[in-house]
A and B are shown apart, each in its own frame.
Chain A
């Protein structure tokens, strides 16, 4: 990733989960922090999320999950990214993710997992730490 290109992030909700308060904040705050944000809309599936991520050429998918189905959703998204040859896109999950699931998510290749109400500054720090890592490589 070249340093003059803005980081692009797809903010995604899947299934019937309509807890969008967190994403409505991230949408604005990440933009204020100089990143580009794209909102998936509601009722997405792993397939539509991955397709949108590829089409929009994003660096990150931020899956926001509140109804307890994050493990299954993350697994499917990771598998689809691999299948479509889009492994350069990183997945992070937030919303209602109990910390006990963090290790398993990491094993799946998920780049970051976040507890409920995670401060936006923490999210911004996370993106910055990830992108400087990428630039260094």
Chain B
């Protein structure tokens, strides 16, 4: 065994006094602890206000999708991977066949693959996506109808425009498209770390897409708040939930200002959360977040339709809890996190792969993650009853405490002027930084234990036994560059020029962008052309993730 960490490891009999998110806990809970809670007002039946117990009125079995985030190399390599995983039942939260696409770093930042500054990153962490032709290659042979489209990207509008363009080209009515896009660049500064545009520009693009889907794509969710990324950047559970809700409040306000109707808008909104290791705290987080959101939709935004009050929660099990040491243990960790997401009433679930700390998932790791979900779904029976932990003195207590913690943050953020204001002040960033630094001290001292990392370390580095996914970006760079040359030579450049001019005009004048983007996609405009214009007209935010004062707080 390697040397134990400095500091005395906690004695096993000594119960920890706080959840990982800082909620005080004791060894036993009794009816006394929840005597102030009223069933109808605070908890309610599943499917009824305040939706603490879930948004469906009965057990839906475990309706969780299994869609590892995927994509790499050339578009056709990603296409092959999608088809491979579809065979193993890759499915959306609603149980439809589905995929969850990424984009490579070059396209994600709005460059084309032949930009020499980005050559090292072509096909890294996703397939390149220069034009609709690449999106077509990614989706070649995959039907759009009956398949739930899922895609992550920092540039969601453009990606959605490709998807709509493909549907138009395949003569599939837009109203039949089913799927989701993250479309929450406002979470960039506290999560992903990517800021392409200043917050006002981000909000504008989010609202623009929501306007489009509200009008034309009834089954397409177009704002999925990226709480996952801020959690993985270090948030605690209450911070994750509160910051996500604050972000969504900002988005809803932006939409209402543009004249959208709250009840029409609401079916396009979802939340994407992480599920981490503190089992009951996570269950409580999902239950409390639903309740807080229902109240906000009803009381603050005056939604009338009961459906509008339901917070739809997509979950991916936490990646940052999976260390490199003893990698097979990560199958267990992710499985347990999946259970707590299910107990929390997640509407959709992705299980993270065991080789998370090494590289993009290998085919085997992706298959095991997918099948872990299948084991839970088909062998455990835990999906037979809705919200089975309801009524537990402890879980109800914790849910209530979590709710209070979320409200406390929301009130602070409101007092600052809302999410964007809190972001611009660096408040949210500083809260996360403080959590991170505290956790690092706790790991060093052994107060927090991660098996294999700071206790029970393996004798030797085990990575030799684990296959690593490898790729050479330069090959992808060359192939994609040739394809771009061909595209630029063969397309109708007159039409391209016209559309880009129209797009610039709309961008400058606070106009409606999505319809033009779809036409631009169909006319083979490239990512860099569209983004070049957006960066010039919306302003480019290069203020790197961490404001300087982030660092001055401990």
Taking beta carbons and an 8 Å cutoff, which residues of A are in contact with B? 15-21, 24-25, 27-29, 31-32, 37, 39, 41-43, 67-69, 72, 96, 98-100, 115-117, 119-121
Contacts and interface: CB of A to CB of B under 8 A. Distances in A.
B443 interface: yes
Interface in B315-349: 320, 323-325
B295 interface: no
B6 A121 contact: yes
Contact of B120 (A18, A41, A69, A121): A69
B120 A15 contact: yes
A32 B193 CA distance: 25
B415 interface: no
A18 B545 contact: yes
A119 B5 contact: yes
Contacts of A16: 105-106, 108-109, 118, 121, 194
B463 to A, nearest CB: 5
A100 B545 contact: no
Given A20-B546, A121-B6, A96 B358 contact: yes
Contacts of B192: 18
B454 A116 contact: no
B463 A39 contact: no
Given A18-B545, A32-B554, A119-B444, A68 B193 contact: no
A69 B122 CA distance: 11
Given A69-B121, A99-B463, A121-B5, A18 B358 contact: no
A116 B452 CA distance: 12
Given A24-B550, A99-B463, A120-B440, 10 more contacts: A20-B233, A24-B551, A28-B433, A28-B437, A29-B441, A68-B471, A96-B359, A117-B324, A120-B443, A121-B5
Contact of A121 (B325, B444, B473): B444
Contacts of A100: 463-464, 468
Contacts of A41: 544
Contacts of A39: 546, 551
A16 B126 CA distance: 13
B105 A15 contact: yes
Contacts of B108: 16
Contact of B546 (A24, A43, A115, A120): A24
A21 to B, nearest CB: 5
Given A100-B463, A119-B443, A28 B551 contact: yes
Select the residue from A39, A72, A116 with max chain B CB neighbours within 10 A: A116
A32 B323 CA distance: 25
A42 B545 contact: yes
Nearest to B554: A28
B85 to A, nearest CB: 21
A119 B455 CA distance: 11
B193 A98 contact: no
Nearest to B359: A68
Instruction: For chain B, give the interface size range.
Output: 35 or more
B542 to A, nearest CB: 7
B533 interface: no
A119 B454 contact: yes
A72 B122 CA distance: 14
Contact of B461 (A31, A115, A117): A115
A43 B544 contact: yes
A119 B551 contact: no
B463 A117 contact: no
B124 interface: yes
A68 B105 CA distance: 12
A130 to B, nearest CB: 19
B234 interface: yes
Contacts of A15: 105, 120-121
A117 B457 CA distance: 13
A-B pairs, 5 with minimum CB distance = A18-B193, A42-B544, A99-B461, A16-B105, A41-B544
Nearest to A28: B437
B20 interface: no
A43 B234 CA distance: 21
A69 B471 CA distance: 10
A114 B124 CA distance: 22
A98 B234 CA distance: 23
Contacts of B118: 16
Contacts of B360: 68
Select the residue from B105, B193, B453 with max chain A CB neighbours within 10 A: B193
15 contacts: A16-B118, A18-B192, A21-B233, A21-B234, A25-B440, A32-B554, A42-B545, A67-B121, A69-B120, A96-B357, A98-B324, A99-B324, A115-B324, A120-B443, A120-B444
Nearest to A116: B357
A20 B545 contact: yes
A31 B440 CA distance: 14
A50 to B, nearest CB: 16
A64 to B, nearest CB: 12
Select the residue from A18, A67, A120 with max chain B CB neighbours within 10 A: A18
A17 B121 CA distance: 10
Contacts of A121: 5-6, 444
Contacts of B109: 16
Contacts of A67: 105, 121, 124-125
Interface string B448-481: 0010011000000101100010010100000000
Interface in B497-551: 542, 544-546, 550-551
A61 to B, nearest CB: 17
